[in-house]
Structure 1
Amino acid sequence: MDNKPDVYRRELVDVQGVPLFWSIAEEWSQVESFESRPDDLLIATYPKSGTTWVSEIIDLIYNNGDAEKCKRDAIYNRVPFMELIIPGIENGIEDLKKMQSPRLVKTHLPVQLLPSSFWKNNCKMVYVARNAKDVAVSYYYFYQMAKLHPEPGTWEEFLGKFMTGKVAFGSWYDHVKGWWEKRKDYRILYLFYEDMKENPKREIQKLLKFLDKNLPEETVNKIIYHSSFDVMKQNPCANYTTVPTFDMDHSVSPFMRKGISGDWKNKFTVAQYEQFEEDYKKKMKGSTLQFRSEI
């Protein structure tokens, strides 16, 4: 029996106070008990913060800039989304178990929900953070096209949910701050989307140093080219067009939409901007984290 439609557009379910897809919540014990390996590299982000971009960069680094090797499969198979479980359709945990080391592992989990084996094994982790207003806009369009999410409602309604953390993977504020604090005690490289946009070469050099890899300049330039937005947008192994339409509808909004900084200016009204900024100050008070809303 074709039961695909009924897995979509369902309400989120709280796991330890964090709203997640119903199917992740139902299979939470599988996620919680996930066994990492010491040479795993975890790529952690809040959704719509450059996850696919940094995943492609790191896969290129792991393959010494060989773009053809990186076309061996779609990005979501090369870098499995660990906690994503949809009964009968997908299971990130099982996919990872079958993978040879060294594995690249993707997660959107806030720091407190990460399986404890990652801390125990002292795995290296790369976290990418993006400014909240651009994330909110990108997430709104993503909610529209990726049907595992509940209906987004209007932009105004969605923005309210985003500000109160009532979206998949919870509060952006808690997420970026939680990982920021954790970097003091573990091997976490904390990168910013805006820095990557501004100077991809500098940020790739940081990644190489963190990963103890040495690549010649011409290879680094190749990585910059192949991981650029325009090239990735045309690459079916990176742009998610291979995902079935019943799951992601690119005619509603492409998975890779604009990939710029400052697009929030095209969406926020003056009133929304003012309300958002006031709320932002309260929620980020006391944190040393600094974001740029444009570059």
Structure 2
Amino acid sequence: MLRPLLFNFIFLKMESLEVVRPELVDFKGVWMTHYFTDNWENVQNFQARPDDILIATYPKAGTTWVSYILDLLYFGQTSPERQTSMPIYLRVPFLEIAIPTIPTGKEVADELSTSPRLIKTHFPVQFVPKSFWEQNCRMIYVARNAKDNMVSYFHFDRMNSVQPVPGDWNNYFQRFLEGKNLYGSWYDHVGGWWEKTKTCSKIHYMFYEDMVEDTGREIDKLCQFLGLSAEAEEKKRVAHQAQFDSMKKNSMANYSTLPVLDFKISPFMRKGKVGDWKNHFTVAQNEEFDEDYKKKMKDPTLQFRTEI
């Protein structure tokens, strides 16, 4: 397990860190910022292990939720102190992040002594380091409907000082349609990972809306994919602990210990609902979005729900 000293070091360094909001740059055909490309070669050379589990999503699509569930399933009973002494971003490090003066995501991942190592990324499928494929690692991809994903990402960009300046909602809406966000087009991201599932059996593709509808059912599917034989009572306990409201109040799960996030603007875990887009989209925006969606969502087998 990671040393508690590492958490203290990271926290103290980040408290004194002055972060400048970055500009988007076209990096290998995907909109990125230097905080996620500065350590590119080291990240690409990351040495995965066969039992590593990679959790991948487009930003704000349920990464923390699934990360927390997996951490509970694997270590909730054997290492319960993790839940109260170590924030989720150290239990499940963010592989590609590289903020000056603090350990990179890769370095934190390399420090993990757990088996399996749980690692998260927002990389589109073509950016995943090759060792994950070579080691035949299991990967879990979580996708969220584009309307709710856009709204959540907007509020995240507002409160996160390592994200580009979001501008107002109307401008952000247009940028999202153009795919000009950190990690690029939502369509390319969810579609690229979906396409990969057709040739790679080691990817479990999940939907955020299914998680909200029936968390227990989706935990059952996760256990089946991972070969976990958790008892029904244990899975019920995990589902209870991973309820949105519980996680939102939990300082080890809600990212409130990260100084680069301004909770006065918006909480990291805001609503966790399906259909909150209705509180943001105008009628005209909804019509424009639906027309754009018809043009860009080319694979009819990939279907999303915008309400449940």
Does the TM-score normalized on the shorter chain lie above 0.5? yes
* SS of match in other structure, 2:188: helix
Matched, 1:60 2:72: yes
Aligned AA (2:121):
T
Find the counterpart in structure 2 of residue 110 from structure 1. 124
Matched, 1:279 2:303: no
Deviation at 1:178, TM superposition (A): 0.5
Find the counterpart in structure 2 of residue 268 from structure 1. 281
Q: 1:174 pairs with 174, 178, 188, which one?
A: 188
Matches within 5 A, 1:1-295: 4-5=17-18, 7-64=19-76, 68-100=81-113, 101-186=115-200, 187-244=202-259, 247-295=260-308
* SS of match in other structure, 2:216: helix
Deviations 1:251-287 (CA, angstroms, capped at 9, x unpaired): 1000010000000000000011010111011110234
Deviations 1:72-114 (CA, angstroms, capped at 9, x unpaired): 3100000000001112134001111111132001000000111
Deviation at 1:10, TM superposition (A): 1.5
Identity of aligned residues (%): 54
* TM score, norm. by length of structure 2: 0.91
* SS of match in other structure, 1:290: coil
8 Å CA contact retained: 1:44, 1:108: yes
Distance 1:104 1:147 in 2: 25
Distance 1:8 1:167 in 2: 17
Deviation at 1:3, TM superposition (A): 8.4
Distance 2:283 2:90 in 1: 41
Deviations 1:167-208 (CA, angstroms, capped at 9, x unpaired): 111111000011011112220000100001001111000001
Q: Which stretch shifts more, 252-261 or 14-23?
A: 14-23
Distance 1:90 1:166 in 2: 28
Aligned AA (1:24):
F
Aligned AA (1:225):
H
* SS of match in other structure, 1:85: coil
Distance 1:159 1:82 in 2: 28
Aligned AA (1:98):
E
8 Å CA contact retained: 2:37, 2:96: no
Distance 1:65 1:94 in 2: 26
8 Å CA contact retained: 1:84, 1:90: no
- Structure 2: give runs of 5+ residues left out of the alignment: 1-14
* SS of match in other structure, 1:44: strand
8 Å CA contact retained: 1:81, 1:106: yes
* TM score, norm. by length of structure 1: 0.95
The runs of 4+ residues in structure 1 deviating greater than 4 Å are: 64-68
8 Å CA contact retained: 1:49, 1:193: yes
Deviations 1:129-170 (CA, angstroms, capped at 9, x unpaired): 000000000000000000111110010111111111111111
